[in-house]
A = this chain, B = another copy of it.
Amino acid sequence: MTDRLSQQFAFLTEADKLKSVLRGTTLCDGSRRENSGEHSWHIALYALVMAEHVERPVNVDRVIKMLLLHDLVEIDAGDNPIHGNHDPAEMERVEQAAADRIFGLLPADQATEFRALWDEFEAAESDDAIFAKSIDRVQPVVNNLASGGGSWPEYNVTPEQLETRVGVKVRKGAPALWGHLKTRIDAWFDAR
């Protein structure tokens, strides 16, 4: 029991480091960059609020668990902004090694369970994972709109890029959300 508790506390203490991984996106008020810990909270809340807008039925409790776990690999691998340039094969290799190490801190049964949820999220094939990925893409758009464009100018983002890199994935899991955001995105680019 003590060994098991020690492993669980070690994992949860390691997880604390996610609060020091900075993302490309800022807070809604633009005051600073968001970290991946608070981002994970925010999108879990998004899933809870927005679950009614799914394209296909999901188990929202599983979606929330996926979202709580989905960014932990960034403790080793860092955040890769969606509009940045990086080598996908190298990124996958680093993230797989990170998942081995970080989930491996847990007792074996929990390591297996959490790793399976993370693998499912990454594969983006199940209805739960597709919705989780949609939500993960929606929140930065809202924060960027709230902060007057946020990181879009920095990355020279175009409406077409938003459509292909973000819109396609959001539509797949929650088309109503993209419909709503598209109007606001178009208005933002028109005003520039």
- From 113 to 135 in chain A, residues with beta carbon under 8 angstroms from any chain B beta carbon are none
Query: Copies per complex?
Result: 2
A180 and B2 within 8 A (CB): yes
User: What is the size, in residues, of chain A's interface with B at 8 Å between Cβ atoms?
Assistant: 47
Q: How far is the CA of A68 from the CA of B13 in the complex (A)?
A: 19
Whether, in the assembled complex, A177 has its beta carbon less than 8 Å from a beta carbon of chain B, the answer is: yes
Interface: A151 (CB within 8 A): no
If A15-B45, A44-B44, A146-B16 touch, whether A180 touches B9 (CB-CB below 8 Å) is: yes
By a beta-carbon cutoff of 8 Å, the part of chain A in contact with chain B is 1-2, 5-6, 8-9, 11-13, 15-20, 27-29, 31, 34-35, 37-38, 40-42, 44-46, 48-50, 53, 61, 64-65, 68-69, 106, 110, 139, 142-143, 146, 176-177, 180
Instruction: Give 25 A-B contacts (CB < 8 Å), ordered by A residue.
Output: A1-B176, A2-B180, A5-B53, A6-B180, A8-B49, A12-B45, A12-B49, A13-B142, A16-B29, A16-B42, A17-B29, A19-B27, A19-B42, A20-B27, A20-B29, A37-B37, A38-B41, A41-B41, A41-B68, A44-B44, A44-B64, A45-B68, A49-B110, A61-B61, A64-B68
